[in-house]
Amino acid sequence: MALMTSRFADGLAVGSDLVEAAEHAVGQALSRLSGQADLVCFFICGDDPDDVARAGQAAMKLAPEAHVIGCSATGVIGDGQGVELTPAVSAWAATLDGARLTTFALETLAAEDRFVVVGLPERGGDDHVAILLADPYSFPTDAFVERSVDVLGELPLIGGLANGLQGRGSVRLFADGEIYTEGAIGVLLSGPLKVSTVVSQGCRPIGPSMVVTASEDNLLLELAGQPALARLEDIVSELDEDDRELVASGLQIGLAMDEYAERHERGDFLIRGVIGIDPDREAVAIGDIVEVGRTVRFQVRDAATADEDLYDLLDAHREELGKVDGALLFSCNGRGSAMFGTADHDPVALRDTLGPIGVAGFFAAGEVGPVAGHNHVHGFTASVLVFSSTPGGS
């Protein structure tokens, strides 16, 4: 929550009347702005997709001069707290003096033996970032994000996969007065802005870094010249009981983003899940395709590690950027109360580290954000878009 009028503000309303909640949350955010809103984002958790659509339509009408985007979700974030699996609306409004905003809607078309994404905005030389909100059931978000460099260059993407309390078919996306039941929407931010991203994957390395010496698709066959499964078993055998329990509950693996680094520690990896083993081939299956020569390191994730990782990254970010004015937060729906015992953890962390700024967002079914300059879709991650003071700004 912004404690005074500023360039960024948020709002939150909880209640079964979603239209009323949307009007209250958006109105609250707008009333806290020091100027006219240029961008409004809102997020809706509701039982009935039709009610969600009506609430979204009402929200978009409240800021006719602004660019407005939003989506349905299974939980929302605003006013310094998270609300999960309960009808609620959060909103975020920003005054972006001089910025250029381009909203877009993406859809997938079949073209011979492949799919083509259409609707991308034209790039400019002063583009900073694109916010992306996608329907995970109809839009190939993983493939689009992983190959975004082919069509968007090095433009950072940040956002999340929308959802609805009824799952497939209940997702609703909103952009500048239009309602979409599939695809993806977003906004491209350009011009005199100072924005940056924070992606907290919340993992801790176990065992040594190892080079992949044999692989096949997503199967790790050999690590450092030995069968991958044998390497993993050796690592697990040396862990204490607590870490063995973390391995049993969900082992991860990190793919080193800089092969030339002398050491690879926490934060130096793109995290992917370990999804199984093949005892016959002594192989380990992971949630990505890894080429021979890549450096990897097994990882574990728990609440304490995820907490420390987010706070450390935000602290370092604040020291680097100076005054932070606002932020959008896309937090995995596997975080919140499921990981920390409270839905408020991530928004509280932002307030603790970045100050009483306008922050809103939602609990996503997958998070989008760059790691080491490359866009990826993540799980169990907090992806944050941070707005800082520009020269001559407030």
Task: Work out the percent of the chain whose per-residue pLDDT is above 90.
Answer: 87
Q: pLDDT (tens digit, 9 = 90+) per residue, 360-376?
A: 999 999 999 999 889 99
- Structure-block tokens of residue 95: 């005054």
Provide the pLDDT for residue 214: 97
Q: pLDDT (tens digit, 9 = 90+) per residue, 86-112?
A: 999 999 999 998 899 999 999 998 877
pLDDT confidence band for 262 (50 / 70 / 90)? low
Q: What amino acid occupies position 186?
A: G
Provide the pLDDT for residue 391: 46
pTM passes above 0.85: yes
Output the CA–CA distances (angstroms, integers) from residue 283 to 222, 256, 287, in the order listed.
Answer: 7, 20, 13
Residue 392 has pLDDT above 90, yes or no: no
Rounded to the nearest 10 degrees, the angle between the axes of helix 49-61 and helix 18-31 is 30
Across the range 210-225, mean pLDDT stands at 96
> CA torsion, points 272, 276, 277, 278, in degrees to nearest 10?
-120
Q: How would DSSP label each residue in 116-179? A: EEE-PPPP-TTEEEEEEEE-TTTS-HHHHHHTHHHHHTT--EEEEE---TT-TT---EEETTEE
pLDDT confidence band for 227 (50 / 70 / 90)? very high
pLDDT confidence band for 356 (50 / 70 / 90)? very high
Across the range 127-144, mean pLDDT stands at 96
pLDDT confidence band for 390 (50 / 70 / 90)? low
Q: Provide the 3-class DSSP secondary structure of residue 280.
A: coil
pLDDT confidence band for 349 (50 / 70 / 90)? very high
Distance CA 356, CA 271 (A): 30
> CA torsion, points 238, 243, 248, 254, in degrees to nearest 10?
-90
Q: pLDDT (tens digit, 9 = 90+) per residue, 18-36?
A: 999 999 999 999 999 999 9
